[in-house]
């Protein structure tokens, strides 16, 4: 039996205060979005009591739903104003997708695993999100017929920025991507300035592998 709705809301509020705000995430739009999105809906029922803990959780197929702090940090680094078209690489559970949908005009999300894509699509539709589109395919190739994108978020770790993704990033746009080896990465902000790539890093992180033509082999 699930806790009452107000209990989930209190749990989310505590998560945001203790795990995000106290660690320096100050973007109020991001904090508000994460107070609204019901994270527990994006994990298996048996794990719902752990959904708001300070850790990632398995979602099947050797994939995870990221730690709430990481979701908040990556979202804040995108600096969304509300009018952007966002490309997300790695739909996974759909939780990060929902947070983006709260803050952007349009979210195009790619997932290479059909089962995860279908489950995420079902949950997002059930929650009433109408500004999300999900496609199954190789995320490192991007979504050319929807490009350019104002923002790109990659939710898996790769060895380098996939060239198609940088090509599909709008001039003046921003990408957040974990870069490194197959075990540890650094959270990296990529900006396109006069067609050139500028990068800066924001600390170490650990993500599942980015799999595809321009990343790690399956």
Indicate which residues carry an active-site annotation: 66
- Both tokens assigned to 109: 């999300």
Q: How far apart are the first and last CA of the chain?
A: 38
- Both tokens assigned to 206: 């650990």
Residue with tokens 């078209």: 85
Q: Which one, of 119, 122, 113, lies nearest residue 62 by Cα?
A: 113
Parallel/antiparallel/unpaired status of strands 149-154 and 85-89 = parallel
Cα separation, 185 vs 51, whole angstroms: 24
């Amino acid at each position: 039996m699930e806790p009452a709705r107000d209990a989930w809301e209190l749990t989310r509020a505590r998560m945001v205060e203790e795990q995000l705000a106290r660690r320096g995430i100050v973007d109020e739009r991001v904090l508000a979005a994460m107070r609204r999105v019901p994270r527990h809906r994006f994990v298996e029922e048996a794990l719902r009591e752990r959904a708001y803990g300070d850790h990632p959780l398995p979602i099947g197929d050797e994939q995870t739903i990221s730690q709430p702090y990481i979701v908040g940090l990556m979202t804040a680094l995108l600096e969304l104003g509300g009018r952007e078209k966002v490309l997300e690489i790695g739909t996974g559970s759909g939780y990060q997708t929902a947070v983006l949908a709260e803050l952007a005009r349009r979210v195009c999300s790619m997932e290479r695993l059909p089962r995860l894509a279908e489950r995420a699509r079902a949950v997002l539709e059930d929650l009433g999100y109408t500004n999300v589109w999900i496609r199954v395919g190789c995320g490192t190739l991007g979504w050319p017929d929807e490009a350019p994108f104002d923002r790109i978020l990659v939710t898996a770790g790769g060895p380098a920025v996939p060239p198609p993704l940088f090509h599909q990033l709008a001039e003046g746009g921003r990408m957040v991507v974990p870069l490194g080896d197959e075990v540890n990465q650094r959270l990296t902000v990529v900006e396109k300035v006069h067609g050139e790539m500028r990068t800066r890093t924001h600390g170490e992180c650990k993500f599942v592998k980015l799999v595809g033509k321009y990343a790690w082999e399956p």
